Structure 1
């Protein structure tokens, strides 16, 4: 061989290549995220204060007191003020003098009772009429559902 012949140098790695995934950093990141979520989750729960009125047992036959306004909307769209039929166009004019008799504005309360089959638009119209008549508080009354028949 000549002195000027080129020699090839081959460097062999001391450790063979490892193609496995290193899971340790992944586990570290997941544990850190878990701790963050465990700390943050209780802070996300916020309570909303709701003032719930006291309830009293009233039978269905008890008429409302004369100073209390109960407006009923049935499935046919008929409107009744304390069991007296009123046309929807006259509702504001009918409620206004009754509400103006209340000495304190916070006593101007109108309760709305809507049948299950009542049209939503009619109920909203009654609510708007009561507010236009001067009602400060609008209450929605519900009736307890009938008990299901006993199973045979």
Structure 2
């Protein structure tokens, strides 16, 4: 004789509730990851590129062009310059110039990080108008 289970048969109660604890755990982890990575994505260098036109850009002063070749060697007015000297050199040149704009002409093979570092040094020298020189695309 069975006691309280209806004549020896095992009764099973169906569970009709959804366990949302794992879902909440996953969502909280994703929320924390999003909150941590969002400020990192906003870090960067603003670039104010000149407007393009068919006639080119008019310049009153002689433009300051920073050339970066494929070997990551930088030149200004045909003179080599090292990355550690770039900030002081730019600061000295633009101390008395009215047009505070720098054009960067980098080789296609130069690492993006190196160009970004050069742009950061130019910005640290107090020049915020930075243009990138490119070749027009053949149509």
Match of 1:95 among 84, 90, 95: 90
Shift of 1:135: 0.7
Aligned CA RMSD, in angstroms, stands at 2.8
Q: Residues 111-148 of structure 1: CA distance to partner in whole angstroms, max 9, x if unpaired?
A: 01110111111100110011111112000110246x7x
**1:100 touches 1:134 (CA, 8 Å); kept in 2?**
no
1:3-42 matches, cutoff 5 A: none
Query: 2:15 is matched with which residue?
Result: none
User: TM-score, structure 1 length as denominator?
Assistant: 0.50
User: TM-score, structure 2 length as denominator?
Assistant: 0.54
Match of 2:68 among 68, 73, 98: 73
Unaligned 5+ runs, structure 1: 1-50, 59-63, 148-152
1:128 aligns with 2:120: yes
Unaligned 5+ runs, structure 2: 1-49
- Closer/same/farther in 2, CA of residues 55 and 126 from structure 1, 3 Å limit: farther
Query: 1:52 is matched with which residue?
Result: 51
Number of residue equivalences? 89
Structure 1 stretches of 4+ with a deviation exceeding 3 A read: 53-58, 64-67
Between the aligned partners of 1:135 and 1:54, the Cα distance in structure 2 is 24
Q: Residues 72-104 of structure 1: CA distance to partner in whole angstroms, max 9, x if unpaired?
A: 11111101112211011101111111111124x
Match of 1:108 among 100, 104, 117: 100
Bigger relative contact order (CA 8 A; separation at least 6): 2
Shift of 1:52: 2.5
* SS of corresponding position for 1:100: coil
